[in-house]
């Protein structure tokens, strides 16, 4: 019978990341310990140090993998702006909500753990990939306008990102959203449409 630490090289690292993501979803990013992550992964308390310098290093890896999966999901949803930029833009918003719901441990590690994204080059690149998709989706919305009439893509992307995060926090995790007469998806879509109308990108 295989021993507790008899992982092939690489499998232990991934097992710890997945165990940590589940643990973060259960107890939050500040309460999980390396020892508990190791126990969940079925290895000794010393085993994580083969791959990670400490809990923050492990937490950053959970976030990095989360951002990569998040970027892939956003990219698939955007689908090069098909069949039209507005539909594609709204799909990226739905993809944001879906990711937060389906991968809560990664999402929390990415946005709510207090880690320094800029202090980790690989994590920063993964974060930029996700942000880049939202910026591309925003740019596509007003590509038909003269250059001097286009709102800054960075501003639009950041506003919609903040709106999406707010919907997840307030309406996507039970109360008070559970009492709302509309779904998180409806809340996000209506907010985005109001915002875009305010910018003059949609007819009144």
DSSP string, the chain: ---TT-PPTTHHHHHHHHHHHHHHHHH-TTT--HHHHHHHHTS-TTGGGGT-SSHHHHHHHHHHHHHHHHHHHHHHHHGGG-S-HHHHHHHHHHHHHHHHHH-HHHHHHHHSS---STT-HHHHHHHHHHHHHHHHHHHHHTTTS-GGGPPPHHHHHHHHHHHHHHHHHHHSSSTTGGGSSS-HHHHHHHHHHHHHHHTTSS--
**Cα dihedral sign, 124-72-193-186:** negative
Residues of the chain with CATH 1.10.10: 1-52
Chain segment 64-83, per-residue pLDDT in tens: 999 999 999 999 999 999 99
Handedness of CA 131, 134, 136, 138 (dihedral sign): negative
Question: Among residues of the chain, what percentage have pLDDT more than 90?
Answer: 72
> What pLDDT is stored for residue 130 in this prediction?
95
Mean pLDDT computed over 170-190? 79
Confidence at residue 11, expressed as pLDDT on a 0 to 100 scale:
87
Q: Please, where in the chain does CATH 1.10.357.10 lie?
A: 68-198
Q: Tell me: pLDDT of 63 over 70.
A: yes
Q: For the domain 1-52, what is the CATH code?
A: 1.10.10
State the chain's mean pLDDT as an integer: 89
Question: Model confidence over 83-141: pLDDT tens digits?
Answer: 999 999 999 999 999 999 999 999 999 999 999 898 899 999 999 999 999 999 999 99
Q: Is there a cis peptide before residue 83, judged by omega within 30 degrees of 0? A: yes
CATH code linked to domain 68-198: 1.10.357.10
Assess whether pLDDT exceeds 50 at residue 5. Answer: no
pLDDT in tens, 7-58: 444 588 999 999 999 999 999 998 888 999 999 999 989 989 989 999 999 9
pLDDT at residue 62 tops 70: yes
Place of tokens 């809560």: 104
């Amino acid at each position: 019978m295989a021993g507790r630490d008899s992982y092939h090289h690489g499998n232990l690292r991934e097992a710890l990341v997945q165990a940590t993501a589940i643990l973060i979803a259960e107890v939050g990013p500040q309460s999980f310990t390396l020892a508990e992550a190791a126990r969940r992964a079925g290895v000794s308390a010393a085993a994580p140090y083969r791959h990670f310098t400490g809990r923050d290093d492990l937490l950053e890896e959970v976030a990095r993998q989360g951002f990569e999966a998040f970027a892939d999901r956003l990219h698939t949803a955007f689908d090069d702006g098909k069949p039209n930029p507005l539909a594609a833009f709204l799909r990226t918003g739905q993809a944001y909500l879906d990711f937060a719901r389906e991968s809560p441990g990664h999402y929390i590690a990415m946005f709510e753990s207090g880690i320094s994204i800029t202090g980790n080059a690989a994590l920063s690149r993964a974060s930029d990939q996700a942000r880049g998709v939202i910026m591309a989706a925003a740019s596509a919305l007003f590509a038909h306008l003269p250059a001097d009439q286009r709102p800054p893509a960075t501003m639009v992307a950041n506003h919609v990102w903040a709106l999406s995060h707010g919907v997840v926090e307030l309406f996507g995790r039970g109360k008070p959203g559970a009492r709302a007469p509309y779904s998180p998806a409806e809340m996000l879509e209506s907010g985005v449409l109001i915002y875009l109308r305010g910018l003059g990108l949609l007819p009144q």
